[in-house]
Amino acid sequence: MTESSLYESWVNSLAYGFRNKGLTCQIKTDGTACQRSECGVFGMWFSFYLRETDGGIMSTIEEQLKALREETLASLKQISAENEKELQELRVSVLGKKGSLTEILKGMKDVSAEMRPVIGKHVNEARDVLTAAFEETAKLLEEKKVEAQLASESIDVTLPGRPVATGHRHVLTQTSEEIEDIFIGMGYQVVDGFEVEQDYYNFERMNLPKDHPARDMQDTFYITEEILLRTHTSPVQARAMDAHDFSKGPLKMISPGRVFRRDTDDATHSHQFHQIEGLVVGKNISMADLQGTLQLIVQKMFGKERQIRLRPSYFPFTEPSVEVDVSCFKCGGDGCNVCKKTGWIEIMGAGMVHPRVLEMSGIDATIYSGFAFGLGQERVAMLRYGINDIRGFYQGDVRFSEQFK
């Protein structure tokens, strides 16, 4: 047995015997014995023993608290945002009921009552530091988790954007607007009309008698005996002549729109198609005015080098009537598959307004005269772009439409 062990054993024995005699001793905190004679030397030595023992235990607890704090803080720094479960497990192992801090507190049972508040203060301070560290770490991990999520979901605005497919006007709409712009630039007005029309305006006002073949049920969509789907946009012209005040100047108009005929659909025919008809009525309007207008229209649509040719024809609402041909824009007049080796392509019909049509609108045919013409947008588009099947305009095939952006 060592000297310190013998000393400890001796003091413990004296203390036991001293207390068995019913004596009490006030051991002062400054290490001095009380003034009672019964205490004597024992009081002094016992006081010294207690101070030495408490000091050793306190030193050990402080070292344990320091080590626990350093190890815990080091472990917290190594926890990543993906391991929240590991953080919770560490919190339980340090601050839980069976944790490391609780085990250190068990050592206080060997400390005197005077030293317990001091040691308790150190332990509480360590608990506060560790609790704050855990809360701060949890906050940082949550922030990192949110940052990682935002980074994974973020959009790099410096990257080029995804191309967005945009729509465009149909080739027939483009053609119609181009033709309208030409006439608007020449001082014409654009007038719309009804697609469901009266038989009177569709036929009779256009000098088509009751027995005319065009009025047969086989060629026209009749709704009733007097109501039908218009076969041309000429009824718009009749209504415009009725409403126009010629004292304010001549009538110059075009009437674009959809028309309907009972044709069997094939590569060159359709039960519906588009027309633009033009009308000019005024004083001293001649065939020369018609020719000059048609020449200008054709050159603006197909090129300045194009020429026109007028061939005699017949239409009930014009007299004289002509078919208008344009020199082939593919071969230049030499002959090819587009012009069928003739060098010319039929483009529209035209003529001087029939006096009877003027008179039915209350216009004096001896003073006023006029010309009219009509062309189809499909016909123009097919010639300009080499389209050989009219059904392509109406089938909604995107591959077809995208060629005419």
For residues 69 and 75, give the distance between their C-alpha atoms in angstroms, rounded to a whole number. Answer: 10
Residue 73: band (very low, low, confident or very high) from pLDDT cuts 50, 70, 90: confident
Residue 306: band (very low, low, confident or very high) from pLDDT cuts 50, 70, 90: confident
> Which tokens belong to 83?
């391991």
Assigned domain for 370 exists: yes
Q: Quick one: 204 and 140 in the same domain?
A: no
The total number of structural domains that make up the chain = 2
Please report, for the domain that includes residue 387, its CATH number: 3.30.930.10
Q: Quick one: 292 and 356 in the same domain?
A: yes
Q: Quick one: 131 and 192 in the same domain?
A: no
Q: What is the pLDDT of residue 302?
A: 85
Q: Quick one: 221 and 144 in the same domain?
A: no
For residues 293 and 324, give the distance between their C-alpha atoms in angstroms, rounded to a whole number. Answer: 12
Entry pTM:
0.59
Q: Quick one: 175 and 145 in the same domain?
A: no
Assigned domain for 230 exists: yes
Which of 127, 153, 179 represents a domain boundary (last residue)?
Answer: 153
| Of 282 and 1, the one with more pLDDT | 282
**DSSP 3-state of 321:** strand
Q: Which of 269, 207, 273, 270 is nearest to 237 (CA)?
A: 207
Residue 213: band (very low, low, confident or very high) from pLDDT cuts 50, 70, 90: confident
Q: Quick one: 147 and 176 in the same domain?
A: no
Query: What's the mean pLDDT when you consider all of the chain?
Result: 79
Range of the domain at 185: 171-404
Q: Quick one: 241 and 108 in the same domain?
A: no
Q: Quick one: 335 and 366 in the same domain?
A: yes
Assigned domain for 159 exists: no
pLDDT tens digits for range 384-404: 888 888 888 988 888 888 888
Which of 153, 183, 203 represents a domain boundary (last residue)?
Answer: 153
Q: Quick one: 358 and 391 in the same domain?
A: yes
Assigned domain for 18 exists: yes
- Whether the pLDDT of residue 47 is over 70: the answer is no
Residue 14: band (very low, low, confident or very high) from pLDDT cuts 50, 70, 90: very low
In terms of DSSP bridges, do strands 189-190 and 251-260 run parallel, antiparallel, or are they unpaired? Answer: parallel
Q: Quick one: 184 and 148 in the same domain?
A: no
Q: Quick one: 348 and 202 in the same domain?
A: yes
For residues 37 and 2, give the distance between their C-alpha atoms in angstroms, rounded to a whole number. Answer: 31
Assigned domain for 35 exists: yes
Q: Quick one: 211 and 239 in the same domain?
A: yes
For residues 405 and 403, give the distance between their C-alpha atoms in angstroms, rounded to a whole number. Answer: 6
